[in-house]
């Protein structure tokens, strides 16, 4: 029997966040992020975190995108245990699984690379940030692993900013993660995340760079236990 050890999180589990994707004022797609009830993976207690992003309607003809990610994170440290990504962007498709072992990361192509302690994939990093306390002017430092490389992700905190969304009005802090000489979601340009200033740190807006420009994912609804 595996002992299920959990930390006390500042946000509820399970939780699903639903977003509309916008290119300027034009709605072009949708996304969700969801953290589920704890389960056991390879004898370890983990939280599953799923994310999907897709373009919709006529915009899909211009740029087809259907990405899926699943991150399994340790229930105490929120560090990565397994990370799965399935990418379909235009004519490009790729699927890869990363297994985070004690001192290395095993890729589905058979390659094993060293791992820094507490390494996190991008979604593990987002939920880890949500668990922290921070204020404008702070800089967060997170051990990060992506594309067979280890980095120290730095996250600057600014704000507060007022933000109106279909899910309501929020006061937010802007988090800007950067990775020296590295990429986040395939881009070297900064990712911007606006989170609520309360203890839940709900990601209200996520702005990312794609090949054709910037897409903003804006919070539309929150589901707890399958109910909005």
Burial of 34: CB neighbours in 10 Å, binned 0-12, 13-18, 19+: middle
Q: Are 204 and 216 in contact (CB under 8 A)?
A: no
pLDDT in tens, 124-151: 999 999 999 999 999 999 999 999 999 9
pLDDT above 70 (res 5): no
> Distance between CA atoms of 151 and 112, rounded to whole angstroms?
16
Ranges 31-45, 95-109, 146-160, 202-216: which has the least confidence: 202-216
- Among 83, 84, 86, smallest CA distance to 95 is for 86
Mean predicted confidence (pLDDT) in 179-201: 77
| 3 domain-assigned | no
| 67 domain-assigned | yes
Mean predicted confidence (pLDDT) in 178-191: 63
pLDDT in tens, 90-117: 889 999 999 999 999 999 999 999 999 9
- 62 Ramachandran zone, left/alpha/beta (phi>0; psi -120 to 50): alpha
pLDDT above 60 (res 187): no
For residue 75, the enclosing domain spans 15-224
Q: What are phi and psi of 130, to 5 degrees?
A: -65, -25
Total domains present in the chain: 1
| 9 domain-assigned | no
- 186 Ramachandran zone, left/alpha/beta (phi>0; psi -120 to 50): left
Q: Could you tell me the pTM of the whole model?
A: 0.91
| 170 domain-assigned | yes
Burial of 188: CB neighbours in 10 Å, binned 0-12, 13-18, 19+: exposed
Mean predicted confidence (pLDDT) in 167-196: 81
DSSP codes, 69-88: EEEEEETTT--EEEEEEEEE
Check residues 183 and 226 and name the one with the higher pLDDT.
Answer: 226
Ranges 4-13, 62-71, 94-103: which has the least confidence: 4-13
Structure confidence at residue 208 (pLDDT): 85
Mean predicted confidence (pLDDT) in 55-72: 91
């Amino acid at each position: 029997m595996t002992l299920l050890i959990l930390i006390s999180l500042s946000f509820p589990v399970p939780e699903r966040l639903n977003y509309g994707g916008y290119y300027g004022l034009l709605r072009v797609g949708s996304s969700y992020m969801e953290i589920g009830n704890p389960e056991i993976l390879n004898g370890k207690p983990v939280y599953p975190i799923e994310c999907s992003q897709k373009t919709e309607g006529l915009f899909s003809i211009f740029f087809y995108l259907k990405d899926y990610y699943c991150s399994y994170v340790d229930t105490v440290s929120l560090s990565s245990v397994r990370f799965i990504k399935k990418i379909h962007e235009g004519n490009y498709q790729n699927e890869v699984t990363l297994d985070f072992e004690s001192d290395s990361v095993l890729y589905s192509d058979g390659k094993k690379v060293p791992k820094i302690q507490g390494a996190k994939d991008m979604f593990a990093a987002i939920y880890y940030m949500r668990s922290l306390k921070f204020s404008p002017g702070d800089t967060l430092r997170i051990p990060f692993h992506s594309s067979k490389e280890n980095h120290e992700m730095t996250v600057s905190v600014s704000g507060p900013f007022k933000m109106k969304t279909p899910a309501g009005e929020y006061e937010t802090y802007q988090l800007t993660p950067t990775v020296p000489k590295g990429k986040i979601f395939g881009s070297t340009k900064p990712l911007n995340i606006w989170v609520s200033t309360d203890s839940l740190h709900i990601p209200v807006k996520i702005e990312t760079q794609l090949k054709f420009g910037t897409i903003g994912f804006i919070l539309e609804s929150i589901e707890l236990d399958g109910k909005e």
